[in-house]
């Protein structure tokens, strides 16, 4: 026995018409083929090529920053993105807003039996493109297959690794009274884009998800030399949840100006129709920053000079408040609290 399958008898992976079956997660040749012909083909690099149970990475300068995120978004393909690029952006952003430079990603795939390989290929290609653009490498991965009905197409968990240069310390508990709060652009785009495609809700709004890697923007912000205390990306729960987190962690109040918060007219219209508030809606390519008041102009200029921060704005200020309440001056002229959302607004947004 030569052990070599004769040429012409080796069946290539049928990416066009094939579907995920249980053997693709079984640890046998079919799994190896899926990894080689699909994942490695698009995502390969010197680390993935090591082919061992673990990957050896060189240590970078400063502290190690790690973040992990699972992605279960539905629908898998949505206006402006898909679960593939989202799973890269989401984790890259979590590392980037720490002030770190994201370098590596790992990815775990849970595939449902019957999932079209063509869709999987689209997702992997999209991940590869997103990782490339963000300058990160996928260095380890895993694939599991569950029976039909036990999953929903594909779930992706990514872990991001980056290095935080010495001297940079950003944290949710560093906001101080007098500081100003900035946002990098319009809020609510991702959530509304997802909602527009839900089966019981479909409306034809030309709204694209803002899913994007923010590490270029964060690098530009840090390079400005402004005294940044906090950076966060307001994903699930939107601006309201993230700002409440900062207020609680820092033990301060935050006062927002509704008129200063950028919201796209079509997002505002969709929210109006659905009875939602843009400040509660998820973003996947926006960040908020708290910085010393005297540096706000410098930071704002640096943000606006970057393509992802063109619509950046100062939207509020940090005040003393033992209750850590977030309040907002409404466009109407009144004042109200901006609280965490109760219950679930929209499941599986990311």
Partner 1 sequence: MKYVDEYRDGEVAQGLAKAIAAEVRPDRRYNFMEFCGGHTHAISRYGVPDLLPENVRMIHGPGCPVCVLPIGRIDLAIQLALERGVIVCTYADTVRVPASNGLSLMKAKARGGDIRMVYAVTDALKIARDNPGREVVFFAIGFETTTPPTAVAIKQAQAEGLKNFSVLCCHVLTPSAIMNILESPEVRELGTVPLDGFIGPAHVSTVIGSRPYEFFAEEYRKPVVIAGFEPLDVMQAILMLVRQVNEGRAEVENEFTRAVTPEGNEKAQNLVSDVFELRRSFEWRGLGEVPYSALRIREKYAEFDAERRYQLEYHPVPDNKACECGAILRGVKKPTDCKIFGTVCTPENPMGSCMVSSEGACAAHYTYGRHKDSEEVSP
Judged by the rule CB under 8 A, the positions of this chain that interact with partner 1 are 200-201, 265, 268-269, 272, 277, 323, 325, 327, 329-337, 339, 342-344
Pinpoint the alpha helices (H) of the chain: 29-34, 41-43, 83-96, 117-134, 189-195, 215-223, 238-250, 265-274, 296-304
Pick 2 or 200: Cβ nearer partner 1: 200
Pick 4 or 200: Cβ nearer partner 1: 200
Pick 158 or 244: Cβ nearer partner 1: 244
Query: Least distance to partner 1 from the beta carbon of 323, Å?
Result: 5
Query: Least distance to partner 1 from the beta carbon of 64, Å?
Result: 35
Backbone angles phi, psi at 343, to 5 degrees: 70, -160
For 45, 78, 85, 216, 264, the CA distances from 158, given in Å and listed in that order, are 17, 19, 11, 20, 30
Residue 21 has a CB neighbour count (10 Å cut-off) of: 17
Query: Least distance to partner 1 from the beta carbon of 271, Å?
Result: 10
Pick 52 or 200: Cβ nearer partner 1: 200
Q: What angle do CA 162, 164, 168 make, to 5 degrees?
A: 150
Contact between residue 89 and residue 130 where contact means Cβ atoms under 8 Å apart = yes
Contact between residue 85 and residue 350 where contact means Cβ atoms under 8 Å apart = no
Contact between residue 284 and residue 190 where contact means Cβ atoms under 8 Å apart = yes
Look up tokens 């009144």; give the residue: 334
The sheet with strand 63-71 has its strands ordered as 63-71, 154-164, 101-112, 137-146
Query: Least distance to partner 1 from the beta carbon of 322, Å?
Result: 8
Pick 125 or 277: Cβ nearer partner 1: 277
Pick 14 or 272: Cβ nearer partner 1: 272
Query: Least distance to partner 1 from the beta carbon of 79, Å?
Result: 20
For 29, 156, 318, 349, the CA distances from 86, given in Å and listed in that order, are 29, 10, 31, 11
Query: Least distance to partner 1 from the beta carbon of 250, Å?
Result: 17
Phi-psi map region of 8: left, alpha, beta (phi>0 left; psi -120 to 50 alpha): left
Query: Least distance to partner 1 from the beta carbon of 326, Å?
Result: 9
Pick 92 or 276: Cβ nearer partner 1: 276
Query: Least distance to partner 1 from the beta carbon of 340, Å?
Result: 9
Pick 220 or 260: Cβ nearer partner 1: 260
């Amino acid at each position: 026995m030569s052990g070599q399958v004769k040429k012409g008898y080796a069946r290539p992976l049928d990416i066009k018409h094939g579907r995920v079956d249980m053997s693709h997660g079984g640890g046998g040749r079919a799994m190896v083929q899926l990894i080689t012909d699909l994942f490695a083909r698009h995502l390969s690099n010197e680390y993935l090529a090591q082919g061992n149970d673990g990957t050896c990475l060189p240590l970078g300068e400063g502290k190690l920053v790690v973040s992990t995120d699972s992605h279960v978004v539905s629908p898998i393909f949505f206006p402006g993105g898909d679960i593939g690029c989202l799973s890269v952006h989401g984790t890259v952003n979590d590392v980037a807003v720490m002030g770190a430079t994201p370098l590596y990603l790992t990815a775990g795939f849970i595939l449902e039996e019957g999932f079209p390989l063509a869709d999987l290929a689209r997702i992997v290609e999209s991940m590869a493109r997103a990782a490339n653009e963000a300058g990160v490498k996928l260095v380890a991965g895993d694939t599991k297959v569950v029976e039909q009905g036990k999953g929903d197409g594909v779930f992706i968990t990514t872990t991001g690794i980056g290095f935080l240069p010495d001297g940079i310390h950003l944290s949710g508990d560093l906001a101080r009274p007098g500081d100003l709060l900035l946002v990098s652009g319009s809020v609510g785009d991702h959530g509304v884009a997802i909602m527009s495609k839900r089966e019981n809700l479909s409306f034809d709004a030309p709204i694209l998800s803002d899913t994007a890697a923010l590490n270029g923007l964060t690098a530009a912000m840090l390079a400005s030399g402004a005294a940044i205390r906090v950076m966060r990306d307001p994903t699930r729960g939107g601006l309201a949840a993230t700002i409440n987190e900062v207020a609680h962690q820092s033990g301060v109040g935050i006062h927002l100006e509704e008129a200063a918060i950028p919201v796209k007219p079509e997002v505002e219209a969709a929210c109006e129709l659905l009875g939602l508030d843009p400040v509660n809606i998820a973003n996947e390519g926006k960040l908020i920053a708290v910085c010393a008041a005297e540096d706000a102009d410098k930071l704002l200029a640096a943000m606006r000079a970057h393509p992802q921060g063109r619509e950046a704005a100062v939207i509020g200020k940090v005040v003393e408040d033992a209750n850590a309440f977030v309040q907002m001056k409404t466009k109407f002229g009144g004042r109200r609290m901006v609280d965490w959302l109760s219950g679930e607004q929209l499941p599986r947004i990311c």
